[in-house]
Chains A and B, each alone.
Chain A
């Protein structure tokens, strides 16, 4: 498959005291027609990365190739082929929804009609409302509609669902899936692991200005060695050390988190009876025990020892 985006050795240092290294040699490749997610905690460099890709920020060094060309070669032509939502754009308060869309549509030589876009993002009934009277979710959908006016081949969504209620998030996910079905390439940033798992064909995990893992959500989770997580806590938390559990069959990794122990496990039906036997032998009483599928969050924690969202 052809690459929609290719970038090599991206570095960005912001002048400050001391200088802020936002990107430290970031490499990635986005294929045509896929939905690609940049997943990482706040401040990891996701926004800097997309803004460099969008041609809004100049990298300190490194190469960016987009849709077979570069920003230096043909900025305007490239702008006509991409769509962008920024993190938190506040459109003019007292313009109507359809007026805002018509304004943005006028910048593109061709594109989708205002009616079609309003229907696509579910804002047909709000077409005559002033932007100031829209809810957070509606504003975000308007932002997406503004990114779609030129019917872009490549769409960037920077934290499209941050701060939205669950229903608005699902509405946005549907919009993204529909675009994906139309064969468009989508790059989105998020710090929600469930969003990345549900929407993205491939994910790059960004931390401290670098990509620390890349692949489909399933591949990344498989890299943990097991798809399942067994989490348990004892009445007396100090009775069992993580290392002891590593000797159990089918347990791939173990770590402590608060009062609980988390085991990554490939076959829960093998691991759990063995664990219970071990606990019974040492006379430890269980306070709780749960199992779940491993998530990208577990991948992130396994790689960095930290959580995606600072609690």
Chain B
């Protein structure tokens, strides 16, 4: 491209500054990958766990213990009356069985593993006592890519990155330039302001594309993640997200003169979205009363739409309400930023 093209030179300057900042490169590209690796390992799908149960030692506990030991998913130990209560309380065993007719189960019904243990022990003892099962159900084991935590996580990380990238890459960058008097110096030239803002936006879109491809490629390479929908739809949503959060960044940075004050403001804007917008867990978990607020956040809309396309293969036409929410945030942000923006 032309050496005397101001838009190109501004874009080039922006990309160079970005590429020459190792910490920024890490936060944009390295950090989400590390998060994906860490959380992907922590919340991987584990094989069914064995449950610890104890048999209270008594004269007739031998047969009962033998029956239970034959169950593959039970860890059976023996306890005295004195130990039984303590082991239950400390969670070392999920259930204590006392032999008798009928046998007695001691457990805390609020603990999921105790309920599970009760079910298993009951089954085993009933069968040993002669209960016949009417049928053996056909079982189909499901552990397909698409339903795992990592599948849920990767689109959330992409959304989170689009948000923080827009806020830092536009909001912080603008205030930094203002505090250096670089903005003032630029408007003392014949530079067109549209070129400046256009280059800033374009640099964001280019970076968002790079982040999107990196995260999707990484998910596929390491976690066999499958992109169900079209890449073009993901790219379009990412571009829209990049513009919306660039607009929010511009709004947050429209007046601040010091980078310290804009950092605080950005955290104030981003923190609710980190928590409520379903980056790490579903936004549906918040109570119904909070949902109108949660669903109106731009990051919730972006994450929902990205997940629908990436995980469920939806097209953009089914995500219109999310797109409308995003567009509204974008339009309002740019309009307010345009009114309040200060170059000096």
Tell me the A residues contacting B by CB distance below 8 Å.
54-57, 76, 79-80, 84, 86, 88-92, 94-95, 99-100, 102-109, 130, 146, 150
A90 CA / B177 CA spacing, docked (Å) = 8
- Given the known interface contacts A95-B13, A95-B16, the answer about A102 and B3 at a Cβ–Cβ threshold of 8 Å is yes
Looking at the assembled complex, report how far the CB atom of B282 sits from the nearest CB atom of chain A, in whole angstroms. 41
Check B181–A99 contact: CB distance below 8 A.
no
Is A92's CB under 8 angstroms from B190's CB?
no
The 7 closest A-B pairs by CB, nearest first: A90-B180, A106-B9, A79-B190, A94-B20, A84-B188, A107-B191, A106-B6
**Which residues of chain B come closer than 8 Å to A89, judged between CB atoms?**
180-182, 184-185
Number of B interface residues in the complex (CB < 8 A): 24
Q: Are A94 and B182 in contact (CB under 8 A)?
A: no
B181: A residues at CB distance < 8 A: 86, 88-90
Residue of A nearest to B18 (CB): A94
Residue ID in chain B nearest A57 by CB atoms? B344
User: Known contacts A56-B184, A56-B344; is A92 also within 8 Å of B189 by CB?
Assistant: no
Residues of B1-54 whose CB lies within 8 A of A: 3-6, 8-10, 12-13, 16-17, 20-21
Measured between alpha carbons, how far is A238 from B4 in the docked complex, in Å? 70
Give 16 A-B contacts (CB < 8 Å), ordered by A residue: A55-B188, A56-B187, A56-B344, A79-B190, A84-B185, A86-B188, A88-B181, A89-B185, A94-B21, A103-B10, A106-B4, A106-B5, A106-B10, A107-B189, A108-B189, A150-B189
Provide the bound-state CA to CA distance between A104 and B3, in Å: 11
Note all chain B residues with C-beta closer than 8 A to A80.
Answer: 190
Point out the residues of chain A lying under 8 angstroms from B182, CB to CB.
89-92
The CA-CA distance from A89 to B188 in the complex, in Å, is 12
Residues of B within 8 A of A (CB): 3-6, 8-10, 12-13, 16-17, 20-21, 180-182, 184-185, 187-191, 344
Tell me what chain A mostly uses at the interface: helix, strand, loop, or mixed: loop
Known: A54-B188, A99-B13, A107-B189. 6 other contacts (CB 8 A): A56-B187, A94-B16, A95-B13, A103-B10, A106-B4, A106-B10
Which of B13, B180, B188, B190 is the one whose CB lies under 8 Å from A103?
Answer: B13
Task: Tally A-B pairs: CB < 8 A.
Answer: 71
A95 & B17 in contact (Cβ 8 Å cutoff): yes
Chain A residues within 8 Å of B20, by CB: 94, 130
Residue of B whose beta carbon sits closest to that of A54: B188
* Complex contacts, A84 vs chain B, CB 8 Å: 185, 188-189
Q: Could you say which residues of chain A place their CB within 8 Å of the CB of B8?
A: 106
Which chain A residues border B189 with CB–CB below 8 Å?
79, 84, 104, 107-108, 150
Contacts of B12 in A (CB 8 A): 99, 103
Asked if B17 and A107 sit within 8 Å, CB to CB, the answer is no
Chain B residue numbers with a CB within 8 Å of A55 are 188
Q: Are A86 and B190 in contact (CB under 8 A)?
A: no
Give min CB distance, A135 to chain B, whole Å.
18
Q: Roughly how many angstroms separate A237 CA and B322 CA in the complex, as a whole number? A: 86
Give chain B residues whose Cβ lies under 8 Å from the Cβ of A105. Answer: 4
Residues in B neighbouring A104, C-beta threshold 8 A:
189
Complex: how many Å from CA A106 to CA B199? 14
Which residue of B is nearest A94, CB measured? B20
Residues of B within 8 A of A102 (CB): 3, 9
Chain A nearest CB from B278 CB (Å) reads: 36
Q: Give B20's nearest chain A residue, CB to CB.
A: A94
Please give, as numbers and ranges, the residues of chain B lying within 8 Å of A76 by CB-CB distance.
190
Report whether B13 and A56 are in contact in the complex, using a CB–CB cutoff of 8 Å.
Answer: no
Instruction: List chain B residues, Cβ under 8 A from A150.
Output: 189-190
Q: Which residue of the partner chain B has the closest CB to A85?
A: B185
Report how far A91 CA is from B191 CA in the complex, Å.
16
Q: Are A106 and B184 in contact (CB under 8 A)?
A: no
CB-CB < 8 A to A92: which residues of B? 13, 17, 182
Closest to A105 in B: B4
Of chain B, the residue at the smallest CB distance from A104 is B189
Chain A residue numbers with a CB within 8 Å of B13 are 92, 95, 99-100, 103
**Complex CA–CA separation, A261 to B13 (angstroms):** 58
Chain A residue with Cβ nearest B14: A92
Q: Which of B6, B9, B17, B190 contacts A94 (CB under 8 A)?
A: B17
B3 with A106: CB separation less than 8 A: yes
Chain B residues within 8 Å of A90, by CB: 180-182
In-complex Cβ contact of B190 among A100, A107, A146 (8 A): A107
Q: How far is the CA of A102 from the CA of B3 in the complex (A)?
A: 7
The residue in chain A whose Cβ has the minimal distance to the Cβ of B183 is A89
User: Would you call B185 and A86 a contact (CB within 8 A)?
Assistant: yes
- Nearest chain B CB to A193 CB, angstrom units: 26
Chain B: minimal CB distance from A101 (Å):
10
Instruction: Report the minimum CB–CB distance from B86 to chain A (whole Å).
Output: 63
Closest to A109 in B: B190
- Chain A residue nearest to B181 in the complex (CB): A89
Contact indicator A79/B17 (Cβ below 8 Å): no
Instruction: Give Cα A55–Cα B20 distance, bound, in whole angstroms.
Output: 34
In angstroms, Cα B189 to Cα A105, docked, is 10
Most A CB contacts (10 A, CB to CB) among B10, B20, B190 go to: B190
Q: How far is the CB of A149 from chain B (nearest CB, A)?
A: 8
Q: Shortest Cβ distance from A110 into chain B, in angstroms?
A: 9
- B6 → chain A closest CB, angstroms: 4
Question: For residue B191, which residue of chain A has the nearest CB?
Answer: A107
Q: Is the CB of B188 within 8 A of A56?
A: yes
Residues of A within 8 A of B185 (CB): 84, 86, 89, 91, 146
Docked CA distance A107–B196 (Å):
11
Whole-angstrom distance between the Cβ of B62 and the nearest chain A Cβ: 78
Q: Select which of A57, A88, A99, A108 is within 8 A of B16 by beta carbon.
A: A99
How far apart are the CA atoms of A218 and B344 in the complex, in Å?
38
Residues of B contacting A91 in the complex (Cβ-Cβ under 8 angstroms) = 180, 182, 185
> A79–B191 Cα gap in the complex (Å)?
9
